[in-house]
Amino acid sequence: MIKKDVIIGIIVGLVANTIGLILAAMLLGGGDDFTAVIKAAISEGFLGKLISLGAILNLIAFFVFIRKRQDYKARGVLLITVILAVCTFIFKIF
pTM passes above 0.85 = yes
Q: What pLDDT score does 45 carry?
A: 81
User: Once rounded to an integer, what is the mean pLDDT over residues 54-80?
Assistant: 95
Average pLDDT over the chain reads 90
Tell me 31's DSSP state.
T
Between 31 and 4, the more confident residue is 4
The residue type of 26 is M
CA distance 48 to 86: 10
CB atoms inside a 10 Å sphere around CB 35: 9
Between 30 and 58, the more confident residue is 58
Please write the tens of the pLDDT for every residue from 9-28.
Answer: 999 999 999 999 999 888 88
Alpha helices in 1-94 (DSSP H): 2-28, 34-44, 47-54, 56-67, 71-93
CA distance 68 to 79: 18
Cβ(57)–Cβ(19) below 8 Å = yes
Check whether 76 has a pLDDT greater than 80: yes
